[in-house]
Amino acid sequence: MRPLVAGNWKMNGLGASLAEIEIMAADVNGAPDGPEALICPPATLVARAAAQAVGRIAIGGQDCHAEPSGAFTGDISAEMLKDAGARYVIVGHSERRQFHGETDRDVAAKARAAWRAGLSAVICVGESEAERDAGRALDIVANQVRNSVPDDADGARAAVAYEPVWAIGTGRTPTNWEITQMHAHIRAELAGLLGAGGRDVRILYGGSVKPANAGEILALPDVGGALVGGASLKAKDFLEIFRAASRKV
């Protein structure tokens, strides 16, 4: 399974930031035998980034609306992202769930919208600190997988990103045992939902991934890549994580 290293720039990046994408693209250069690199910049940069990185790294959106068009001021459809040159879109990120009230049903609808437009979806799941402390992490994430991942998903159109909400941007990281346990749990849920096809869906780890811990995390069983936040804003850091994933191929 080819690892996927995805960078989520969140609400960061101006035109000058495209220089970082150029450095990344020049180093990665679309090598078919290595990991797959994906950068999801803000929507204002998707078209320019896609034109710049074409054939070398993939560009994606950070969210999409479930409908292809309509009176939804400020929203962006999956078709618009595709038209701008995107190949992926992140759906259900914890910040969308937390700050915009997105439900599992919303996330599943957005994943289907991505497929309708010809995009692959990175479907995010993860528990809060309170849920983990209450011993509910496995149940919470299993429920999210069952309700956020459409039952006709496959490895060509979908990846699942596990992001423990309490680790995002905090510098805290779960133990290797906690990551291994959760990824195995997600794999079992995908197998139950998708049958044999559940083995082909990449499960990314996201939550304070940085060059210092990437190699150790990416070497764990059932970790099929990483969803990288702040460390993806600088080419140097992102490429160090990408090279760590290369050792898994």
Listed residue (220, 202, 217, 211) closest to 243, CA to CA: 211
**Residue-level pLDDT at 26:** 95
- Six token digits for residue 148: 């956020």
In DSSP terms, which residues pair with 162 in a beta bridge? 125, 205
The answer to the question of residue 113 being in a domain is yes
The answer to the question of residue 197 being in a domain is no
- Six token digits for residue 42: 């803000």
Residues comprising the chain, all counted: 249
- Cβ–Cβ contacts within 10 Å for residue 131, how many? 18
The domain spanning residue 126 has which CATH number?
3.20.20.70
To which H or E segment does residue 114 belong? helix 104-117
**Active-site positions?**
93, 163
The answer to the question of residue 215 being in a domain is no
**Residue-level pLDDT at 247:** 86
Q: Are 124 and 89 in contact (CB under 8 A)?
A: no
Structural domain total, the chain: 1
Buried b (16+ CB within 10 A) or exposed e, 85-106: bbbbbbbbbbbbbeeeebebeb
The answer to the question of residue 86 being in a domain is yes
End-to-end CA distance of the chain: 8
Report strand pairing: 36-40 vs 4-8: parallel
Listed residue (25, 6, 34, 30) closest to 159, CA to CA: 6
Q: Which residue segment(s) compose the domain that 76 sits in?
A: 4-159
Long-range pairs for 128-132: beta carbons < 8 A, 24 or more residues apart: 128/165, 128/166, 129/165, 129/166, 132/164, 132/166
**Residue-level pLDDT at 168:** 80
- Cβ–Cβ contacts within 10 Å for residue 143, how many? 14
The answer to the question of residue 68 being in a domain is yes
The answer to the question of residue 186 being in a domain is no
The answer to the question of residue 181 being in a domain is no
Q: What is the full per-residue pLDDT of the chain (249 aa) written as tens digits?
A: 899 999 999 999 999 999 999 999 999 977 777 899 999 999 999 999 999 999 999 999 999 999 999 999 999 999 999 999 999 999 999 999 999 999 999 999 999 999 999 999 999 999 999 999 999 999 999 999 999 999 999 999 999 999 999 888 777 779 999 999 999 999 999 999 999 999 999 999 998 899 999 999 999 999 999 999 999 999 999 999 999 999 877
The answer to the question of residue 183 being in a domain is no
